[in-house]
Structure formats: C-alpha cells, structure tokens
Amino acid sequence: MSDPILQFEFPKIYSFPPFYTQQPNTTVLNQQLDSWVSIILHYCEYYRITSLSIEGIPKHSQLEVPLSSLSSIFINKTINRQVNSDFQKLIVKHLIHNKKAEFINPKKPELGVYIYWRSLVDWGDLLYQYVDDTGQKGTVLTIYELTKSEETTVPQDLHNLDETFLVKIIKDYLIKQGKAQLLIDENNEIGGVKIV
C-alpha cells in the first residue's frame, strides 16, 4: 500500500518563532503548553501515531508509512526553530498531567510515551465491539490476528495497532472491567487473549 498521504496542516502558531521558547510569563506559558498539547494530539491523530519519543519523534504509526519520513514535531526547519530538551520534558509532563499521554514504562521514561488522542477506554470499547460484532467472544485469539491479520476484517481503527499498546489496552481496561482474560504460555509470554 502506498497511499499518497497529504501533509498535516499545522496551525499558524506552529510558525510563530517564540512558540519554541519556554515563556517566562506563567499565564502565557500555560497557554503555550495547551497549544503544544493540542498540536501534538491532532498531529498524532492525523498520522495515527500511538507512541512518541520524549524528543517528539514518532515511534509507532498505524499507517503504512515509513516513520523516518516523520521527523520530530519539536523541530520546525522552515523557521529554523526547535524546542530544547528541558522544554520538551515540560511539554510531555503537561501531556501526562492532562491524561493525554502516559509513559510506556514509568521506570524507563526514556522509552517515550503513549499518546491518547483516543483514550484507553475508547480503544478498549472499539476492540470489544469488534470482537462482539464478529461473534468471537469466548474464543481464544492471538494478539497478531487482532491487529495485523489480512484475512479477518479487522476494522480500520484497530488495524496495525502496536502490539505492546494493544496489550496495555487489554490489561489496563478490559481485564479490569472483567471483559477479557490473558492466556500466559509456559514461557511466561502472552499466548492469546479471550474476550468474554
């Protein structure tokens, strides 16, 4: 698949040079952080990016597009501006504070964050609805066939979902709701999942 992907259209403030400098005025800074959060969420939703490095580089996208073509969202070569490391951390912290992001591994922040342009609950409901609609409740399914299978009719919203992200959706939401069970094999790895 080589669909021509239109470039994401950034809002005008993305071309505003001071946008890349942490503002000293607290009120303006909060406005600035909110704007960064909004841009990151819309950008990730547009390219269906579910995880981002701390430096703003996409880690995984559901689209069939080489991630190398998407550079860091914190760098704007057109106006020769970029967010420095400290401000990057502050923006990510603001994302997490607003519950729009979560560390992939809280003990290893350098691994990056999941981006919740769609909440875990909504992701989980999507997955549950798909399994229910296709009459597969109570059936053991592999993680692979839930996202990457070309044979079954995995809905576009779930297609190509990152496996670790999918496991997180199941663990953090569906299992806690009593709607799913994970099957662990003898190697202590996930062998499958059953939606109940």
Partner 1 sequence: MNHSNTTNTDRDAYLQLGKSLNEQHSNQLSTQLQVFQSALINFANDHGDEISSNLEFKNKFTQIVQSIGIDPLDLLLYTSQNDRNGGTSNSNSSSNSSSNYKRSNVVATNFGVALAVKIIEICQQTRDLNGGLISLKELISTLQNSCETEGISLVVSEKDIESSLNNLNTLGKGYEILIINGKKWLKFSSTENLSNDQLKIYELCEFMGGYVTYRLLRDNYGWDKVRCKTVIDEMIMNGFLWVDSQDNGEWQYWEPSWISN
* List of residues contacting partner 1 (CB under 8 A): 12-13, 16-21, 23-25, 27-28, 30-31, 80-82
User: Which of 35, 181 has the CB closer to partner 1?
Assistant: 35
User: Which of 13, 126 has the CB closer to partner 1?
Assistant: 13
User: Which of 17, 191 has the CB closer to partner 1?
Assistant: 17
Provide the minimum distance between the beta carbon of 16 and partner 1 in the complex, in angstroms, as a whole number: 5
Provide the minimum distance between the beta carbon of 47 and partner 1 in the complex, in angstroms, as a whole number: 23
Task: Write the CB contacts of 75 (distance below 8 Å, at least 6 apart in sequence).
Answer: 56, 81, 82, 83
Q: Are 87 and 36 in contact (CB under 8 A)?
A: no
Q: Which SS3 state, helix, strand or coil, does residue 192 take?
A: strand
Provide the minimum distance between the beta carbon of 35 and partner 1 in the complex, in angstroms, as a whole number: 8
User: Which of 31, 149 has the CB closer to partner 1?
Assistant: 31
Q: Are 145 and 152 in contact (CB under 8 A)?
A: yes
Q: Which two tokens stand for residue 16?
A: 């505003």
Provide the minimum distance between the beta carbon of 71 and partner 1 in the complex, in angstroms, as a whole number: 17
**Nearest-angstrom CA–CA distance, 70 and 8:** 11
Q: Which two tokens stand for residue 31?
A: 């406005």
Q: Are 62 and 160 in contact (CB under 8 A)?
A: yes
Provide the minimum distance between the beta carbon of 165 and partner 1 in the complex, in angstroms, as a whole number: 33
Provide the minimum distance between the beta carbon of 159 and partner 1 in the complex, in angstroms, as a whole number: 31
Closest CA to 138 of 76, 194, 97: 194
Q: Are 114 and 168 in contact (CB under 8 A)?
A: yes
User: Which of 20, 173 has the CB closer to partner 1?
Assistant: 20
Q: Which residue has the tokens 């580089």?
A: 57
Q: Which two tokens stand for residue 37?
A: 């959060």
User: Which of 43, 173 has the CB closer to partner 1?
Assistant: 43
